[in-house]
Structures are given as C-alpha cells and as structure tokens.
Amino acid sequence: MNFTNFGRYILLLKATFKRPEKWKIYMKAIFQQMDFIGVGSLGLISIISTFIGAVMTLQIAFQLVSDFIPKTIIGSVNRDSSILELSPTISAIVLAGKIGSAISSEIGTMRVTEQIDALEIMGINAPGYLILPKILAGITMVPVLVIISMVLSITGGYLGGTLSGAVSPAEYIQGITTDFNPYTVNVSLVKAFVFGFIITSVPAYEGFYVKGGALEVAQASTRAVVVSCISILACDYIITQLML
C-alpha cells in the first residue's frame, strides 16, 4: 500500500515538472505562493524562533553548573543547536502544520468540487498549474525563513540569557563568535531546501488524490501534516548523517 502511494507520488511529481503552458501565469502563481509561504509565515516563525532561542539559553545555563566550563559555551551551544537543528527542523514542522494543511485542504477542496477536473478538461496540466508554484515557492522561501529563524533564535538566546542574568552579554557574544564553522549553515540550508520540498509536495499529493467530501478533505489534511512531519524527521536524520 505504501509502495503504491510512493509510486503515485513520484508519478504526480513527474506530471508536476512538465513544461508549463504559459510561464507568465505560472510566475504570477509562484509569487503569490511565495507571499503566502514566506511573508505569511514570517510572524509565526519569528515568535517561535525567538522564544526557542531564549529557552535554550536558560536550559543550557541550568545544566552547565560546573565552574570548569566557561559560560561562553552557552552561546556556542545555542548557536550550533539553532543553526543545525532547531531552526530548520522546528520551523519545518511548524510550517508543515500551517502550510501543509492549507495546501492539502485547498487542493483537496478543488478536487471534490471538480475544479481540478475543470482544469484538465480545459487541457491544462493540473498538477503543474496547482503544485509546481507551491513547490518552487517552498524550496525558495523555507530556506529564507530558516535563515531568519537562525538569526532570531540566536538573538532570542541573547535576550533570554542577559535578561535573566544566566549569561553576560559579553560572554554570550564571545560564545557565538568563537569557533564558528560556516559549514553548519550549509547543512542547515540543505535541510531547509529538502524540508521546503516535503512541506509542499506531500500535502499537495494528499490533496490531489482526495475522494469524497468535506470529511475526506479534513482527513487528507491531517494525514498530510503527519506524513510531512515524519518525512521531515527522517530526512533530517539522513542529511545529518550524510553531511556531518
């Protein structure tokens, strides 16, 4: 059954990446989706990243009780955790809930109200027109959101640490600037790119093949979020294993 779904998913992607009928119309749809995925999620990602950064700092400070460990390590650990894991993965899971369910419901509703049939009857490649702009917007905007998330998470760590007195501003800044390896950002961006693809393509697949009515659309939406989250975590492990 899962192999059948995977096969259908691959076939859908094949249809999605066919040459568009008119690039001008697709470009308009891509920008709309970039606005929805990127700008529309900025507030949520900002709030989550800032608080996660702040909480991380407090928890690291709580666990580092030894006098032999310098407090600058709090900044270093927070920086690497944010860049490598928290920003890409937590952002992706949050976006899977917000964007994934929206994509699945939108396409699923179009399926059950025959709007997808209408596109096909007109001679339009429905997977291409509906899914391609979402995937392209996802793989471009999720990395942008992840970069913003990294910055805000580290800033949140600074605010949380200094306001609570867990770490001094100088120690924190020394921590985040010491032994910084830019390669970690590359790993994070690769993750963001892959997660952006998953967050858009998996829910699109779930929505595209919905049969039935409102109940089935809702079920597909739930399934889309669950499958996306599991796929994100599995890919997170694989990318980390391969790149670090």
Q: Sketch the per residue contact string, 179 through 208, with another protein: x for CB under 8 A, - otherwise.
A: ------------------------------
3-class DSSP assignment, residue 215: helix
Q: Is 69 in the site for another protein (CB under 8 A)?
A: no
Tell me, what DSSP letter sits at residue 19? P
Among 59, 115, 162, 174, binds another protein (CB under 8 A): 115
Contact present, 232 and 128 (Cβ < 8 Å): no
Complex with another protein: residue 11 or 121, whichever CB lies closer: 121
Q: Is 22 in the site for another protein (CB under 8 A)?
A: yes
Q: Which H, E and C letters describe 118-155, residue by residue? A: HHHHCCCCHHHHHHHHHHHHHHHHHHHHHHHHHHHHHH
Residue 222 structure tokens: 């739930």
Q: How many CA atoms lie within 13 A of 97 on its CB side?
A: 7
Q: Is 123 in the site for another protein (CB under 8 A)?
A: yes
Among 7, 23, 35, 120, binds another protein (CB under 8 A): 120
With contacts defined by CB under 8 A, name the span among 47-55, 75-83, 114-122, 167-175 that binds another protein. 114-122
Q: Is 122 in the site for another protein (CB under 8 A)?
A: yes
Q: Is 27 in the site for another protein (CB under 8 A)?
A: no
Q: How many CB atoms are closer than 10 A to CB 115?
A: 14
User: What is the contact surface with another protein in residues (CB under 8 A)?
Assistant: 21-22, 25, 109-110, 113-115, 117-118, 120-124
